[in-house]
Amino acid sequence: MGKVAVGVAVIGAAAVCAGAALIVRHRMRCSSRWARAMAIVRELEEKCATPDAKLRQIADAMTVEMHAGLASEGGSKLKMLISYVDNLPTGDEEGVFYALDLGGTNFRVLRVELGGKSGGILSQEFMEASIPPELMVGSADALFDYIASKLAKFITEEEEKYHPPPGRQRELGFTFSFPVMQTSINSGTLIRWTKGFSIDDMVGNDVVAELTKAMHRQGVDVNVTALVNDTIGTLAGGKFSNSDVAIAVIMGTGTNAAYVERAQAIPKWHGPLPKSGEMVINMEWGNFRSSHLPLTEYDHALDTESLNPGEQTFEKLTSGMYLGEVLRRVLLRLAEEADFFGDEVPPKLKIPFVLRTPEMSAMHHDTSSDLKVVSSKLKDILEVSNTSLKTRRIVVELCNIIATRGARLAAAGMLGVLKKMGRDIPTGGVPEKTVIAMDGGLYEHYTEYSKCLENSLKDLLGDTANSISFEHSNDGSGIGAALLAASHSQYLEDRS
């Protein structure tokens, strides 16, 4: 009996030792996985770093590219497009003006009533409609006839008080969010279609001329006085409500900036100098590139696999279309190399753009003690359940690293624009007030991003920071276009 008892004890001890060894091995494996995960996170943090010195280099590079783009067509990665807008709204505009906003598969018709200096915007009304899919690939006549018919319906149904006096035409600003080579304030030829449109007989033609012909066919007597894009519309909307607005920046799905330039500082401008002495420049700054930009392996891979490799580098680092996708790529590497979500890589995590920036924002803003929002987003989007609090904290840290880089780079871009305008340092003792009109869902809804952007620019400006402020200027593509129709009205001299 004694020998049996000893044998059982030995076997029991061996089992305990084996179990302990398994636990130790499991802990070591977990420990090495965690060490690997932390190494990946620290490497990302290092490569995304944006110290002030680097941001100043990026701002300087932006200024250099702006000069080059203004000097000659194709002289820079920045297109620095001449908008032909030389009169921004002053706030004195009066009367009823219209806007047509064709930004993609939906379009809007708006009417805005302006009351002059004391009245501001007295009333506004809009109608929205979808473009039928067959018209997106049909003929130019069919598309513009459909748009003009909706405009005709909108005008027919409006109250008599909005009707123009005898002998006057209604005036309209046309926001056309496709690549256009602008040739005057109210003309421009379509370079190519995007966003699912493909109407071959329209490419190379003047979009305003096509719309005007369609309006005539529909019996609509409206004069298109301004062809604009949404960034310039944002600038116009901002300027209408605050005369200190001089720059507009869109931070949304994509990003762009526009600003007021001295006409004499545009070597590639060969026309007569505008009376105002100023010209609004559409920078198309999403295409900015510099060797100083902090690019990671995730950015290089995203760019290579994108529809436009080598293009829109700045946009891919800063805008809402891409922030969530960069996060997905980091999480995928963590899952593959450090078993971040367990032994299996979540299949959903392999799908490009499955993790959108609004979801990233929601996780970044999660202030609950157990990070409930992070847990539910990982479960809903990636089908990952039972994540540890430690894992969820890392996800929030990754959101912070990626959003901070984007926001600080956007701030550096703005500093570059302020430098070009000579507004980054006080002149003559008293700094000139500059308001930056902002729009876009990323700026509006991703609070951590917008706070970081604003604080970073103020830090970079130092003593000049108090003279620079931000203002949310909503609906540049709608109200902004109507305001530009007003500031470029053919009847302006009659009113003065």
Which H/E stretch holds residue 438?
A: strand 434-439
Distance from C-alpha of 343 to C-alpha of 450, rounded to nearest angstrom: 37
Q: Quick one: tokens of 467?
A: 């003279």
- Distance in angstroms (rounded) separating the CA atoms of residues 64 and 71: 11
How many angstroms separate the CA atoms of 65 and 412, rounded?
Answer: 14
**CA torsion, points 472, 476, 478, 483, in degrees to nearest 10?**
100
**H-state helical runs in 178-322:** 207-217, 230-241, 297-304, 313-318
- Please calculate the CA angle 166-168-170 and round it to the nearest 5 degrees: 120
Q: How far separated are the first and last CA of the chain, in Å rounded?
A: 118
Class of residue 227 by CB neighbours under 10 A (exposed 0-12, middle 13-18, buried 19+): buried
285 secondary structure, DSSP code? G
Query: Which residue carries 């064709």 as its tokens?
Result: 102
Locate 111 and state its tokens.
């009417």
Residue 95 in tokens: 């009367």
Torsion angle, CA of 7/13/17/18, rounded to 10 degrees? 50
Task: Report the helix count and the strand count for the chain, using DSSP H and E.
Answer: 16, 13
By annotation, the residues acting in catalysis are 177, 192, 230
Chain centre to alpha carbon of residue 404:
16
Per the document, the length of the chain is: 496
Pairing mode, strands 245-251 and 278-282 = unpaired
CB count in 10 Å sphere of residue 488:
21
d(CA 332, CA 345): 8
At residue 71's C-alpha, the angle toward residues 68 and 72, to 5°, is 100
